[in-house]
Every structure is written in C-alpha cells, then in structure tokens.
Amino acid sequence: MTASNLQSEPCSAIYPYVLLSTYRLLVCQVCAFASVADEVATHLRTRHRDIQSERRQELVEKIKQVPNILHSRDDLRHYLQYPTDTIQPIPYLAPPKPDGLKCRACGHIVRRVQKIQKHCTEKHQWMNPRGRGRPAPNYPVSAYELPWEEHVACQRFFPSREGSKWFQVNMRIKEQANRPGAKPSAKKPQGTLQALTSEASIHLQQVIERDTQYREALSQPRATVNDAGTNTFPAISLWLDRTQWPSIYRGSRRDVL
C-alpha cells in the first residue's frame, strides 16, 4: 500500500490537522500523532497556544462538521481499524521506530523485551529456556530461536492509552555493504544482534529500552505538587520524579544495571 492509498485529506481549513479517511482519524501535523474529535479543543489549548483563541474555536466548530470520524476514546476501542498488512509509513505520523519486536505467532508488536516476553508467556505459553538467574556457561541459544522477530519498523497513531498499538510499516534500512560496487571493509566484521546469544540480545535490548524510556520521559509533561496534591508520589519524592528512575528501571534486573 502506498501513501496515496491512505486517502489522507490535508485541508488548510482545519490546519494543523489532516484527515486520514481510511482510519477515520485526525492527525496533528505539528505534533505527529492523532486526536479524537472530542479532544481537539484540549489539544489545541494545551499544545498550540500560539494559535489565537478565536482560531482554535473556529477549528473546533469545523471539525464537529467532519463526517465519519472517531470522536471519543470509547470509539477507538470499538471502531479503530489498524492496518492488517505491512504498509508504507504514514507521513503525518512520527517517523517509524526501527526496533519493534513482533510476535511470530500473532503479529503483536511492542518495543520492550520485557513486554514481548510477558506477551509470549501469557498468550502463547512460551517458556524462557534460560530461566531465572545468570546464564549457564557455554549456553549458545541463538536469537533466531526467540518467539519474536527483531528490528521490525513500526508506527502508532497515539502516544499512549487507547489507539497506541504499534503496527508494522515497510521501512528498508540501506546498508553500505549491500550497495552495488561497495568496497569491502578492511575492518573485522562486527557481530550483529541476530548473531548474539539470546541472553546478550535481550540484555542489549533492555539497555536500548532504558535509554528510550528516559528520552520519552523527558518529553512528557511533569506532574507538579500543585497538579498532583501533597500526598502524592511527586510531592513526596521530587528527585525521583525529576529523574524518572522508577518508570525507567521498573522490572530491571539489578545484576545487569
């Protein structure tokens, strides 16, 4: 499927939004994620204060007149249709992430090893052959034997809550070694993630995840004492709230930190 098949309908009348008719969604071209119609007013007020209030209200009224779009989070749960096949990246959304982990059994995609392990265990009765504790010496389990695929390019409509499920897109990573006429490198070839053992592959993914979680946490609005109340976690532990350590390192093994 090409970008033209998505039936996207950019319209200056509702800018910064664009309509994805195929999925019945409005996407903010500036923020690069979707909004349901009922949340447009809040999104514009909190994210786009540079737009004059009269213009924001005008946008809200115009979007109310757009037919056949999803209006609420409840609509997302019942009516949002995700791509069933691998499609070209949707240009109005955030760029695809190249580190998706796709379940070989059902196609479910996440980007954290702990989540894909939990999914495979609960949904498909997978048992980690390594078990708990440190790996035994000379235990060469190939990453190919894992019940999920790695390096799957993926996008999502929403950054959190309903509608934040990842879906696969077709994004090819061009490597110099694969280009015609490329000169062989004199350097010793480096092992890829697929060539690593299962233990090393999972550990590397967890390191990448912690860095990703940290960067995502920095971009999220911070909860303050005024917002959350004096008896809440942010009020009690401001330093932990600032560093985001509880969310970044939740579930991590202490022996590999």
Question: What does the pLDDT read at residue 235?
Answer: 52
Residue among 242, 96, 113 at smallest CA distance from 166: 96
The position carrying tokens 């109005």 is 92
End-to-end Cα spacing for the chain: 42
Question: What does the pLDDT read at residue 106?
Answer: 96
Question: What does the pLDDT read at residue 246?
Answer: 72
Q: What is the pTM of this model?
A: 0.62
* CA atoms of 247 and 228, how far apart (whole Å): 17
* CA atoms of 88 and 138, how far apart (whole Å): 42
* CA atoms of 204 and 245, how far apart (whole Å): 19
Residues with Cβ within 8 Å of 85's Cβ and at least 6 positions away in sequence, in order, are: 1
Question: What does the pLDDT read at residue 188?
Answer: 43
Question: What does the pLDDT read at residue 141?
Answer: 54
pLDDT in tens, the chain (257 residues): 443 344 455 567 899 999 999 999 999 999 999 999 999 999 999 999 999 999 999 999 999 999 999 999 999 999 999 998 999 999 999 999 999 999 999 999 999 999 999 999 999 999 887 766 555 555 555 555 899 999 999 999 999 999 999 999 998 644 333 444 444 444 444 444 444 556 666 767 777 777 777 777 666 655 554 555 555 555 556 666 667 777 777 777 666 66
Q: How many CB atoms lie within 10 A of CB 204?
A: 14
Phi/psi of residue 26, nearest 5 degrees: -100, 135
Strand order in the sheet with 167-168: 109-110, 97-103, 148-155, 167-168
Written as six digits, the tokens of 67 are 């037919």
